[in-house]
Each structure stands twice: as C-alpha cells, then as structure tokens.
Chains A and B, each alone.
Chain A
Amino acid sequence: MAEASKRRARSTSFRGREYSKASVWLGRLAVFVLLTGLWELLSGRAFNSFWLSKPSLIADRIVQMLGDGDLWYHMSATLQEAVVGLAIGMVGGTLLGIGLAFSGIFERWIYPFMMALYSLPRVSLAPLFIVWFGIGQSSKILMVVAMVIFVAFYNAFEGMRNIDKDLMDMMSTYKAKWTHKLRWVVLPSITVWILTSVRLNIGMALIGSVIAELVGSNRGLGYYITYSSNMLDTTGIFTGLVLIMLIAVALEQLVLLLERLLLRYR
C-alpha cells in the first residue's frame, strides 16, 4: 500500500503520468517493428542495399557468427575491456572525487587542471596508448579508463558538495566517529551520484574500447568493424554496431536493476 502511494506521489513529476508496463512495452515493440520493417522494405528498393545492408542480412550474419564462434570471440573482448576499464575508472574517479572533496585548499589547486584534461578530446589519446601498450587489451582498458574517470570524479565530487550539512551535524551531536559518518551519511548521499555516473559512463566505456580497437587491434567489435570496412562489407559493419548496442542495453539494464535495489527509499 505504501509502495503504491509512493509511486502515485512520484508521478506528479514533469515526466507526467505513470503508464502501465504493458502499454510501454507494446509501444516500444511497435516502434522497433516499424523502423526495422521500413529499413527492410526500403533496402534494395529505395536505395541500394550494398550501402545500408538490411535487417534480415544482419540477423543472418549474427546467426552465422554464433555458429562459427566469431560472435563471442569479438564480443567478449569488447565487453571485457569496457567492463574492466569501467570498474577501474569508476573506483579511481570516485575515490579521487571523495578524497579531493576532503582535501581543503589542495582541491582548489587541482580542480582547474582536472577540468582542462576533461575538455581534451580523449579519443585522440588512443594512438598514444597503443604506442605505449601495444595492440593487446591493456591499451583498450586504459582508453576506457581515460574516457570514464572524469565523469566519475566529477559526480563523486559534486555529490560530496551536496551532502546535507544538517545530517553531518546531526551525526556529530551523537558523537559519531568518522567511519560512522562515512557509512551512514557520506556513502548513501553520493550513491545517487555514483549510479548516475555509471549510467553515463556505460556509453563512454564502449566508445573508448571500440575506438581503441578501431585504431589498432586484432580482436573485438571495433576490429570486426574495421575489418568489414576493408572488405567493403556493410552488413559486417552494421552487425558490429548492433552488437555494441546490445552490450550497452544489457549493461544499462543491469545498472537500472542495481538502482532499484539501492534507491528503494526514494
């Protein structure tokens, strides 16, 4: 009952009314069918299917890749790089944000440089990382870390600055130790911010790993895309893109699940 009233109360936000699950998913399915259907129909009629391939060809390719093991071979490489890099970048950036928020004037010294680095087009670092670490997975992971660490840092830092001072004071009046404050106030306060940065960073992580693979590798979806491109195989390129999208959607759903678990109180 309380659950229901909470939902109703939340639906007054600008997103408008709460819709039934069925109507949302049916609508999504309809949009998907419409778009892929149009693509399928127009390809080979309105334009040459050599340039844009078509959904049925992509589906065939996925099945074929599943059969010969190529699918998992490339997908697992990209997934691994993205997930490992995301984990390292998130932990590193978040700790940096928390640490810097506690560091007093040191923060004022460092902050402008962090922002300057952030404004750098970091994808252009990929060639450098490949020079440093070769075409194996470590150069890709480093690229992913470079892509995600700033958002992780920034969100943790902002989260720290947005901690309710009254809650910290309240903890102090109960003579709470530093560890109590961390566990009961600091970490729960910034959880929202961290989850937001994980979500933003899923896309970033995939960009990082795929870009680095495009620049130089012998495995992964980025590699598969360049390889297909060299063969003038547009179906291969699109298949690579579809698989990247699948990874992004799957990771996003995982984070949403985590969010529902951790933010039950909202």
Chain B
Amino acid sequence: MANDNQAKLSIRDLKVEFRAKGRNTVALDGVHLDVKDGEFVSVVGPSGCGKSTLLKVVTGLLQPASGGAFIDGQPIDGVPDRVGMVFQNDALLPWKTVVQNVRLPLAIKGLPDKEQRREAERLLKLVGLEGFASFYPKQLSGGMRKRVALARTFAYDPDIYLMDEPFGPLDAQTRVKIGEEFLRMWESVGKSVLFITHDIEEAIALSDRVIVMSPRPGRIKAEFPIQLARPRPFYDIRFDPVFKELQKEIWAQMSDGASGGVH
C-alpha cells in the first residue's frame, strides 16, 4: 500500500536507557526503522524487549539516550502533531461515557459541539457500537472497550497510527473479529501504521512488513516483506501457502537466540 519511497516515520540509531534504583537498563539499542507513507509495519518480539518503549519515543513521551525519530524528516521534539496512539491498555476515561471518550480528541481540538457529536456517532457506528454511546467503560466487555479506543484514535485522524498490542488481552475469537474490522477500516483510509504485537499470525495478516526484535536490549533482528495481495481476508489468509512459509520463517527467527535455535 506504500505510495512512494518517502519515509513518513524514520528511526535512526535509537538507543533508550532507563535508570531505575541506580541501575541502568538499556531498553533499545541501535534501532533503525522506516515506515513509508501508507505502509503498515508490525513489530514482533518477546515481552520486555522494548516495543512499548519504541512507541513512547515516537509519541515524544520519552527522550532517547542517543539517535532519534523523525516524522517527514523533522526530528521529534515534544509530542508531534498527527500521531495517534492506541495504548496497550485501552486508556479510556472511566468517568466519561463511550461517546464522550470518542469525542475527547475533537474536544481538545476545540471543534464545535455539534460537529463533535456527529463525528463521534459516525465513528461509533463504524466500530459497531451505535447502541452504546451512553454506557460507561466499566459496563463494556474488553473487546468493546478496544473498539472505543480505536474509534477515539480514528476521531483524532492522525497520519501515523501507533498501536501497542491493541488486541492483546482479547480472546481468540474477538481478536479475529476486531482484527478483521480494523483491517477493513485501515484499507479504506490507508494511513501509516506501526503496529506492536506478539502474535505472528496477526502481524502477517495485517502488515506490509514484519520486523522481528531481539530480547533486551531490543535490536532489530530481521525484516520480512509481506507480499500478500490486498484487500486480504484477515482470517482465511492464514491458509495461504505463502502465509504458512512466512509464519515458519518468522517463528524460526524469534525462537532462535531466545532458546538457542529451534528448527
């Protein structure tokens, strides 16, 4: 889906360190990564390898020790414009109703009340939650809350979507269903996505490129272009022989080093 060779987001020689209780932890080291305009890139890796940290750098919430991230060639300094993050937990405001949560980015932008409401309702319909506008997050299932979080990010309408294991805590069935919906919505807007997951199948089914990270300190270990035609059937694509082959290769990369090489 990438339109041209211009990198929307580029990460150069990124190194991130945490200092906690007098000890230095290198979370990321020498990370080099490009996401082209309209490209869907997934990052897979064991937990604790720095995937969330990578996204925090791109949102400007975290300062790198060296190297950096660039959007359209501009270095990231503070929270950049037009970058939307879907957090690992859904980060919904528990004291606001579903529709108020979805309106949040529009309210911050200062859009007129009526427009906010109209847009929020449209998006709730898009994610299949029309009847739930006045519910509080506590009253929804995990899958529904994820959809609200997605709708909120859609409301912000960013150029780059950063998604941190957005379907992580869902059961297999819901995961497939939401993945399918998300893929359909993404194919209609075609924005750049940096997608974090630990699910290889999910990564292949969604992405143009899958990046494998090593355990801590996180480095990029391998990269796999996914040449499966779009639009893709999110679930049925798993039975494609190309998919199977990719799955095998990526799995080999991930388990290699972690447990001394399995094949």
Contact = CB atoms under 8 A, between A and B. Distances in A.
Contact of A265 (B56, B79, B85, B136): B136
Contacts of A2: 135, 139
Contacts of A245: none
A119 interface: no
A184 B96 contact: yes
A265 B87 contact: no
A166 B138 contact: no
B93 A184 contact: yes
B84 A265 contact: no
A99 interface: no
A175 B93 contact: no
A166 B61 contact: no
B37 to A, nearest CB: 20
Interface string A167-182: 1011111111100100
Contact of A175 (B61, B79, B137, B139): B79
A175 B81 contact: yes
Contact of A169 (B87, B94, B105): B87
Contact of A167 (B84, B91, B139): B91
Contacts of A171: 108
Interface string B83-98: 1110101010111100
Contacts of A188: 93, 95
A15 to B, nearest CB: 18
A260 interface: no
A166 B93 contact: no
B108 A166 contact: no
A265 B139 CA distance: 9
A2 B83 CA distance: 35
B89 A174 contact: no
B91 A166 contact: yes
A174 B61 contact: no
Contact of B87 (A5, A6, A166): A166
B59 interface: yes
Interface residues of A, number: 23
Contacts of B139: 2, 5-6
Contacts of A95: none
B51 to A, nearest CB: 16
Contacts of B95: 188, 191, 265
Nearest to B156: A174
Given A2-B139, A184-B93, A173 B108 contact: no
Given A169-B87, A173-B61, A173-B83, A184 B135 contact: no
Contacts of A265: 94-96, 136-138
A200 B44 CA distance: 50
A247 interface: no
Interface in B72-127: 79, 81, 83-85, 87, 89, 91, 93-96, 104-105, 107-108
- Which 9 residue pairs of A and B lie closest in terms of their CB atoms, listed nearest first? A170-B91, A188-B95, A265-B136, A173-B85, A265-B95, A174-B105, A166-B91, A176-B108, A173-B59
Interface of A: 2, 5-6, 164, 166-167, 169-177, 180, 184-185, 188, 191, 264-266
6 contacts: A2-B135, A167-B91, A172-B61, A174-B108, A175-B108, A188-B95
Interface of B: 56, 59, 61, 79, 81, 83-85, 87, 89, 91, 93-96, 104-105, 107-108, 135-139, 156
